[in-house]
Amino acid sequence: MAIEHGTCGSWKAVRRMIAADLSGCASLAELDQAIESLVISRPQWPDDVAREVQQYLLDLSGRLPSLESSLQAAIRDTHRQIQTEVDHLTHAIRRLEAEKFFLLRWFNQWRRVPPLRQRLAWLNGAPDRAAQPHAAALASTQQELHRVRSNPQAEADHRVGQREQRLARLQGVQKSGEHAGASAECQMARILVRGLPDEFHIFHDVNVEADRWIWDGQEHRKSAQIDHVVLGPGGVFVIETKWWSKAFAAGGGYYDPYRQVKWAGKLLHFALSDACGQKIRVREVLATTGSLPNKPADSFAKLCAPEGVCGYVRYFKPELTAAIRTTAQSLLDHLC
């Protein structure tokens, strides 16, 4: 089996779309399985949610004694921590105010006692400040308990609605172009990994950027994103995966795939040639199970089904030395 590097770009996009609903999802298969499980369990949601609400009420009720205990403990602990200083300040204030000499007593009352009283007032307010977060948590829990207890059916309906929205979002992702693209790219990745020997390296979602703007025949560009790059003894292969319907291919609302793969190969050629110190040939492949527009005369891209890509890649005789492949692998690891 070939050695795999990186993750398919379209799958990364799908994973970002479902992050809030399925944060631990690791593959398209897991996503599809999760959606199927939600659809199967959907009729049971009202009963499941009713039990959840009852358990939620029990949890809230059981939390109140602990919160009240924490509130009292915070007040008690703070009193214990400040008591020594409070006693000391109280004694000091009384002593200063009881000064026998009039001028000293007047000086104490105007200059020495006020800061001590300010400190004493701050200390006396410490228990209330310590209790504030505990009191807020207790009040919030009491309000939540009252809200749910007063209308448990409304809470149940709200939770069922949240599940419905979550299912709708996931089904929307399943029907999206990102999902279709990820399915095609992941299928291509599996075919490459299983169909090529371990002397080949496969890099997914390779992003190449030139240090200057380059004219591609129609516009100036400097970057490209590549679905897959295969590195082996027979050379370097840029593979773009397309899974287009006949209607979509005929519609023309897309970026020219031949131009896309040609530009990607050109940029990667520049990057690898600079890194390896010699010209590195990069071959272009368009893998598709659907339809594509007619191939222009100036395109050298190889068109084939995903199942035929491995045979095409293995067809070429070795042309890269082990040292060159090591340098190219290091660069591609950085780019993917």
Q: What is the pLDDT along the chain (336 residues), one digit of tens a residue?
A: 999 999 999 999 999 999 999 988 989 999 999 999 999 999 999 999 999 999 999 999 999 999 999 999 999 999 999 999 999 999 999 999 998 888 898 998 999 999 999 999 999 999 999 999 999 999 999 999 999 999 999 999 999 999 999 999 999 999 998 898 899 999 999 999 999 999 999 999 999 998 888 877 777 888 999 999 999 999 999 999 988 878 887 777 788 899 999 999 999 999 999 999 999 999 999 998 888 888 888 889 999 999 999 999 999 999 999 999 999 999 999 998
Rounded Cα–Cα distance for residues 53 and 64 (Å):
17
The C-alpha atoms of residue 206 and residue 271 are separated, in whole angstroms, by 12
pLDDT value, residue 56: 97
Q: Look at residues 298, 228, 221 and name the one whose alpha carbon lies nearest to residue 267.
A: 221
Burial class (CB in 10 A: 0-12, 13-18, 19+), 247: exposed
Place of tokens 């609400």: 53
Give the residue from 221, 200, 198 showing the smallest Cα distance to 270: 221
Among residues 71, 76, 60, 62, the alpha carbon closest in space to that of 134 is found at 71
53 CA to centre of own chain: 30
What angle is formed at CA 256 by the lines to CA 252 and CA 257, rounded to 5 degrees?
120
DSSP per position, 27-59: SHHHHHHHHHHHHHHGGGHHHHHHHHHHHHHHH
DSSP labels for 223-283? EEEEEEEEEETTEEEEEEEE---HHHHHH--S--HHHHHHHHHHHHHHHHHHHHTS---EE
- Specify the pairing of strand 302-304 against strand 235-242: unpaired
- The answer to whether 309 touches 188, Cβ cutoff 8 Å, is yes
C-alpha span between 164 and 45 (Å, rounded): 9
In angstroms, rounded to a whole number, what is the distance separating the alpha carbons of residues 205 and 192? 14
Tokens of 143: 């309000």
b/e string for 6-27 if b means 16 or more Cβ within 10 A?
bebbbbebbbebbeebbeebee
Dihedral angle computed from the Cα positions of residues 76, 81, 86 and 92, in that order, rounded to the nearest 10 degrees: 160
Take residue 315 and report the two structure tokens written for it: 């067809």
Confidence at residue 96, expressed as pLDDT on a 0 to 100 scale: 92
Question: For residues 332 and 228, what is the distance between their CA atoms, to the nearest angstrom?
Answer: 11
Q: How far is CA 241 from the centre of its chain?
A: 24
CB 202 within 8 A of CB 333: no
Separation of alpha carbons 213 and 313, rounded Å: 31
Strands (DSSP E) contained in the chain are 3-5, 201-215, 220-232, 235-242, 282-288, 302-304
